[in-house]
Amino acid sequence: MKHLLLVLAAAVVVSAPALADEALSKAKKCTTCHAVDKTKVGPSYKDIAKKYAGQKDAEAKLATVIVKGNGAGMPPSPQVNDAEAKKLSAWIMSVK
């Protein structure tokens, strides 16, 4: 029984941050254009993570794009502050 409880507790710990940051993406209206695994107006979070994979300072670069836009389709997101952008970019980079 203890083993089962440990497994369940670990699952909650692992999934809780992902759910919290997905909730932030919904709260900040990012999901108007993006979804985890499908293209909407913009690319999926999985595709964004692939694009930035292996790049030095990928999370910082992505956080900048979230706040300022990229001039190539991604508009600035004035509703997202720098701390939220860092949290969102870390979550996006963790999406597999």
The residue extents of the domains of the chain are: 17-94
For the stretch 27-68, pLDDT in tens is: 999 999 999 999 999 999 999 999 999 999 999 999 999 999
86: left (phi over 0), alpha (psi -120 to 50) or beta: alpha
Integer Cα distance of 10 and 90 in angstroms: 20
Judge if pTM exceeds 0.75.
yes
Mean pLDDT value of segment 70-75? 94
Q: What is the pLDDT of residue 19?
A: 59
Residue 87, SS3 per DSSP: helix
Backbone torsions φ then ψ of 39, nearest 5 degrees: -80, 130
Binning pLDDT at 50, 70 and 90, where does residue 15 land?
Answer: very low
| Residues 34, 77 contacting (CB under 8 angstroms) | no
| Residues 89, 28 contacting (CB under 8 angstroms) | no
Homologous superfamily of 17-94 in CATH?
A: Cytochrome c-like domain (1.10.760.10)
